[in-house]
Structure 1
Amino acid sequence: MTVKHLLVEYNKVNEQGTFSPGDILSGKVTVMTSKETKVQCFLVKAKGKAKVTWCDQEGEATVVHSDKKIYFYFEYIILQDKNRGNGSEIIRPGRNVYPFTFVIPNIDMPSSYRGKWGNIAYSLQAKLTQSLWLVHKTKTEFPFLTKAEFPFASKSEMIITGLKEQQCATRISFYGTGKITLNVTSEKMGVKQGEAIAVSVEVLNNSAGTVTPKFYLCEKQTFVAKSKGIVHTNDILFATGDSVPAETSQTITKVLSIPLQLPPTFFNCSLMKLEYRLKVILDVNPAKDLEIKLPLVVLWGSPKPRQQHQRRSICFKNLPG
């Protein structure tokens, strides 16, 4: 093995290390050889690709659903055997460095993402071919960030205007002769990665039992392959509120922090999409739980410092009999 080391690296264009449509992607390929080495082809390629794959059991057969979409594909040939087979191109012994430059297409493409049954990846790969049986490869992925300000909505949708508006929902359920009313309010629908959001829960418990609110972040991943679809959901417990005894009412406010590394909401990929909801559940034993879901859009970016508001008091009172 005359090729001892093969490495592909890229140059960052900003402090975050992310790339976007229209950026210049440059770097170098480094190859270490122990002696003079003949090659048939030596190239570096850049690719942006979305791919989904999952399996379904249909009777005794396993059916594989798979699809992919190529956003761009470029090759830069460093060395190539002009005679196609006699290994006339030479790499001298020692450390050899070869620069390259690509221009990322200035088109709408989704951000990098890795989900349950699919991923959106942007990568560089160097490939050195000495013969049909002797091929060296190395690969690295680079983080890509879409330029779309709102990758979760089409231009015709008015969801954008509601990102800063308060979201509210109410649900009433009857348990025997008792009634439970659940009111949930979130201060807004759009929240940045790492940002905090206040959620208030008003519980009017006119039943005979104690109820306890629980706060969840609901993640929904949807994957599509040739008209077939599959959904993966995941609920993350944020917090548990104080119990509300029978025949009382109580208002509870929780400040919930969105995880900093949580992938942003997106719809701008034909093979997959990512959505979120805020969910509040009342444990009502032994009856079915009472729940409310509110829309939540996770935006890319650094959170702004949270303003200090006056703490909301907790209202705790007996219901009129």
Structure 2
Amino acid sequence: MPGTVKSLKVTYNPINESDTFTSGDSVSGQVALEVAKDCEVDSLLVKFKGKASVLWSERHGQVTVVYSSKDKYFSIKHYLIQDKDHNNVLPPGIHIYPFTFQIPFQEMPSSFKGSVGKIVYSLEARLSRSLRIDKTDTVKIKFVSNADMSSDPQLMEPQHETKDKKMKLFNSGMVAMDVDLEKTGFCQGEGIMVVACIQNNSSRPIKPKYCLYRKHSFFARGKRRLDTKDLLKEVGEPIPPSASEKVTRVITIPHDLEPSILNCSILKAEYRVRVNLDVKYATDPEIKFNIIILPAAQVAASAPPPAASGFGFEPSGNTSSPWGTVPAPPAAAAPQPLDPPPPYDAYGMYPTMTDSGKIF
């Protein structure tokens, strides 16, 4: 026998082609409630929240230890039907409740999903009825932190490292490399130019190898969980013995690669460029560079998003909220999608590279 409530669905309206949001944007949508017959409702609400969480377990002998941590950024509730409303009986059919939230004007990390941690921004609809289990529906939105690369000089700083190695056993002589990166910060889809001056004073040919890899770190209860993965690998032309060459390689960052996350207290998403010389019968000398990947500039849709009305829009004419009446902001104060974002250094978002300790 079918129940009284046939479906509960929460959806949102995209504001650009990439279907992303950032601080200050308005998030509008609808809650659709379909009932098969008269339905008495205690409350119907929509919640907008953002949080990070990590969770993993480790086996120590006969004991399993669970490590977990959470970091909450915001949580906003808006009641579409409240307990104090009278005669909350909905007739059969589909009932649509529009809403609008505004993402807080604060610095927050981008959406993220890793092996044991995630950063999620979501909308949740919750229907409560007397003597029944609450019915819920959730949809995630993709949040991207504001990024203004030109505002932080550190991101434009070039990087330089040298490495040499004396050959032993089945090889003789020495190899050395002097490697430069044009800068530290790169956008999604951008090319990383690696310039290397390589000296091969050994008795065998050598090959330069390049790798872009990511490093995810998760933190809980004083412990760190590390997860690394090679993303792109490239091999250069061989350099013969007793020769020196200057080689240039451009490594293109994938357009869909997640941005660096360095502004979350319980997880980090970092990137490295590794350059090494492939030497037969010897340990390969290598150099690692820290790089920061920034989100590509977002192009807003031609139609501007609707202005936020406090914490949400009440379709039934009830202008009350859990915090009292919230007046709508003036039209001039509505956020503009192409406004320049705040500079990184305003929040101390990125640590100094020399303070990051050992490079993995």
TM-score (norm 2): 0.75
Deviation per residue, 1:39-98 (Å, 9 max, x gap)? 233211111111111111111211110010111111122224449xxx962222111101
Q: What letter matches 1:58 in structure 2?
A: H
1:174 aligns with 2:166: yes
SS of the aligned residue for 2:51 comes to: strand
From the superposition, tell whether residues 132 and 203 of structure 1 become closer, same or farther in structure 2 (CA, over 3 Å). farther
Deviation at 1:246, TM superposition (A): 2.5
From the superposition, tell whether residues 184 and 132 of structure 1 become closer, same or farther in structure 2 (CA, over 3 Å). farther
Aligned to 2:77: 75
Larger mean CA deviation between 284-293 and 197-206 belongs to: 197-206
Higher relative contact order (CA 8 A, sep 6+): 2
Match of 2:23 among 18, 21, 24: 21
Aligned to 2:233: 238
Aligned to 1:193: 188
Measured in 2, the distance between the counterparts of 1:209 and 1:175 equals: 10
Larger mean CA deviation between 220-229 and 128-137 belongs to: 128-137
Count residues in correspondence.
292
Deviation at 1:241, TM superposition (A): 0.7
Contact 1:118–1:223 (CA under 8 A) maintained in structure 2: yes
Larger mean CA deviation between 294-303 and 222-231 belongs to: 294-303
Correspondence 1:126-165 to 2 at 5 A:
126-147=125-146, 149=148, 160-165=152-157
Q: What letter matches 1:72 in structure 2?
A: F
Deviation per residue, 1:195-240 (Å, 9 max, x gap)? 1122122321111222221110121111111322222111223311
From the superposition, tell whether residues 98 and 190 of structure 1 become closer, same or farther in structure 2 (CA, over 3 Å). same
Measured in 2, the distance between the counterparts of 1:149 and 1:52 equals: 28
Measured in 2, the distance between the counterparts of 1:88 and 1:40 equals: 10
Match of 2:284 among 284, 289, 305: 289
Measured in 2, the distance between the counterparts of 1:88 and 1:64 equals: 47
From the superposition, tell whether residues 278 and 48 of structure 1 become closer, same or farther in structure 2 (CA, over 3 Å). same
Contact 1:194–1:302 (CA under 8 A) maintained in structure 2: no
Deviation at 1:103, TM superposition (A): 2.8
Measured in 1, the distance between the counterparts of 2:192 and 2:147 equals: 24
Contact 1:82–1:88 (CA under 8 A) maintained in structure 2: no
Match of 2:251 among 256, 262, 281: 256
| Structure number having the greater strand percentage | 1
Aligned to 2:67: 65
Percent of residue pairs identical: 40
Measured in 1, the distance between the counterparts of 2:148 and 2:221 equals: 28
TM-score (norm 1): 0.83
Give unpaired runs (5+ residues) of structure 1: 151-158, 304-321
